[in-house]
Amino acid sequence: MNDSKNMKNDSPLLALKALGQHVWLDNLSRALLQEGSLQRLITEDGIDGVTSNPAIFQKAIAGSPCYHDELVRLRNSPLAAEARYESLVIPDIQAACDILLPAYLSTQGDTGYVSLEVSPALAHDVAGTVAAAQRLRRAVGRENLLIKVPGTPAGVQAFEQLTAAGVRVNVTLIFSLTQYEAVAQAYLRGAQRWLDDGGNTAQCRSVASVFLSRVDTRVDKRLDVIGAKPALVLRGRTGVALAKRCYSRYLEIFHGPAFATLAEAGVRSQTPLWASTGNKNPAYSDLLYVEPLIGPETISTLPDAALAAFRDHGCAATTLTTGMREAHSHNVALRALDIDLGEVGDSLQTDGVRLFGEAYEQLLIGIAQLPY
């Protein structure tokens, strides 16, 4: 009787882990830490990672009284703007890492990570990104930290160098299969360099964050402009198709000869992470970027609303490998309408860097002005 009751009350999110998919929270704030909300998500829903970005911290710091005393102190501080920001968020990152340490230890470093992003102003600066990543890694001082680096051409170069130096990285702002391919190949090169230099293979860990909802938002606008039925029937399908095509390529690379030597040496594969999973179009399912993309060796990072939606009415089933042929056909159909997903991805990445940069600048200004 009690076992039946417990089964009934189990969160559907726990079933995702049983299917080989980790769920990370796409949010972090001091309130989540101090009020015990993050610990409850870990205990009740099986959440075993956290991602953050400048926009998340901007909202957290501006909207919570938890930072009030430190903001008052910083008003008269000689610290530069970026140092003030880091003095606020690094303790939050450290606390989240400590809460997730059991997951990190129990999986021998497979999961249990918290992501902290380098300044978006460095998106096109290889040396600056490498230096900032190393500095933040030392400042946080936690093994279960992932440094977030953008998947720009410069960011990919920096990522390879960081991997070769044993730094664990979350490569973010990936919007196309071409960008994903570049990131995966950089991981292979960086991991091989680390191995050749005698590095501990257990130190190699990376995730590749593929953004989904923004792709549909951009492509759907172009399809609406075309207006014909062959275009309109393609709406709301590009993000999921992108994820499936990236996963197909992941299987080819990391379960194929390109990774075989590294795998034999004990290097972990680079895990695909589904990001931007909050639906931005109310006409679509609120689980559009969750339910069709459930599969092993992946991470789904969910904002609060998507977490709540899956907890309420989500269906856990292995779906990621179904519809692979349709995903390819979708890409072909878009090309026939002169929609180039490579160009779309490059444009979205440029916009993503700009938007994160704007959020970061507003955050630095806000820290100087708050509390009012």
Under the banding of pLDDT at 50, 70 and 90, the label for residue 50 is very high
* CA 105 and chain centroid, separation: 21
H or E segment at 310? helix 304-313
* CA 221 and chain centroid, separation: 25
- The pTM assigned to this predicted structure is 0.95
Distance, CA of 140 to CA of 76 (rounded, Å): 24
Residue 370's pLDDT is what? Answer: 73
Residue 266's pLDDT is what? Answer: 96
Under the banding of pLDDT at 50, 70 and 90, the label for residue 52 is very high
Provide the CB-side half-sphere exposure for 248 (13 A, CA): 15
- Mean pLDDT, the chain, rounded, equals 94
What fold is seen in the domain 12-369?
TIM Barrel (3.20.20)
Residue 118 scores a pLDDT above 80? yes
Residue 114's pLDDT is what? Answer: 98
Distance, CA of 208 to CA of 316 (rounded, Å): 23
Under the banding of pLDDT at 50, 70 and 90, the label for residue 64 is confident
The structure tokens listed for 270 are: 């680079």
Under the banding of pLDDT at 50, 70 and 90, the label for residue 257 is very high
Sequence spans of domains, the chain = 12-369
Cα–Cα distances in Å, from 34 out to 28, 51, 64, 140, 144? 11, 18, 12, 19, 20
Residue 41's pLDDT is what? Answer: 97
The structure tokens listed for 313 are: 């009415």
Residue 11 scores a pLDDT above 80? yes
Active site residues: 148
Q: What is the pLDDT of residues 267-309, one digit of tens each?
A: 999 999 999 999 989 999 999 999 999 999 999 999 999 999 9
Q: Using alpha carbons, select from 206, 296, 205 the residue that is nearest to residue 251.
A: 296
Answer whether 370's CB lies under 8 Å from 62's CB. Answer: yes
